[in-house]
Structure 1
Amino acid sequence: MNTLVGKNVLVTGGASGIGGAISAALAAQGANVIVHYYRSKEAVEVLQKEVTEAGVGKIIPLQADLTAETSVNEFAQKVAAQVGALDVLVNNTGDLVERHALDSVKNEFWEKVMAVNLTSMMMVSRALLPLLKKAQDGASIVNLSSLAGRKGGHAGSLAYSTSKGAVLTFSRSLASELAEHQIRVNAIAPGLILGTRFHATHTTDESANKTIGEIPLKRAGNPFDVARAVVFLASEYNGFITGATIDINGGVYMA
Structure 2
Amino acid sequence: MGSLLKKNAFVSGAEQGIGKAVAEHLIDAGCDIFIHYFMGEEGPKELVARAEARGQRAAYGRGDLTDEGEATACVQEAIEFLGGMDVLVNNVGGIIGRKYLGEIDVKFWQTVLDVNMTTMLHVTQASLPALEKAQDGASVVNLASLAGRCGGHSGSLAYSTTKGAVLTWTRSLAAELGGKGIRVNAVAPGLILGTRFHDKHTTKESADATISQIPLQRAGNAGDIARTITFLASEYDGFISGATIDINGGIYRM
Q: Paired residue for 1:106?
A: 105
1:251 corresponds in structure 2 to 250
Structure 1 vs Structure 2 CA RMSD = 1.0
1:176-235 Cα offsets, whole Å, 9 max, x none, are 000010100000000000111110011000000000000000000000000000000000
Extract unaligned runs of 5+ from structure 1.
none
Structure 1 residues 147 and 51, CA gap change in structure 2 (3 angstroms): same
Query: Which residue is equivalent to 1:10?
Result: 10
Task: Tell me the distance in 2 between the aligned counterparts of 1:94 and 1:226.
Answer: 15
Report if the CA contact (8 A) 1:14-1:37 is conserved: yes
What corresponds to 1:221 in structure 2?
A: 220
Determine helix, strand or coil for the equivalent of 2:188: strand
Partner of 1:67 in structure 2?
66
Superposition deviation, residue 240 in structure 1 = 0.2
Q: Which of 170-179 and 58-67 deviates more? A: 58-67
Q: What's the counterpart of residue 182 of structure 2?
A: 183
Residue number in structure 1 paired with 2:148: 149
The aligned runs of 1:49-68 (5 Å cut-off) are 49-53=49-53, 55=54, 57-68=56-67
Distance 2:156 2:50 in 1: 35
Q: 1:121: how far off?
A: 0.2
TM-fit CA distance, 1:40: 2.1
The residue number in structure 2 matching 1:95 is 94
Answering whether residue 129 of structure 2 is matched by residue 122 of structure 1, we say: no
% of aligned pairs identical?
A: 52
Pick closer, same or farther for the CA change 1:84–1:47 going to 2, 3 Å: closer
Output the CA distance in 1 between the equivalents of 2:60 and 2:117: 22
**Does the Cα contact within 8 Å between 1:175 and 1:242 map onto a contact in 2?**
yes
After superposition, residues 27-46 of structure 1 pair within 5 angstroms as 27-46=27-46
The 1-side partners of 2:16 and 2:165 are apart by 24
Is the 1:132–1:183 contact (alpha carbons within 8 Å) kept by the matching residues of 2?
yes
* 8 Å contact kept, 1:118–1:163: yes
The residue number in structure 1 matching 2:24 is 24
The letter of the residue matching 1:141 is V
TM-score under structure 2 normalisation? 0.97
CA distance in 2, matches of 1:218, 1:50: 33
Q: Number of aligned residue pairs: give it.
A: 254
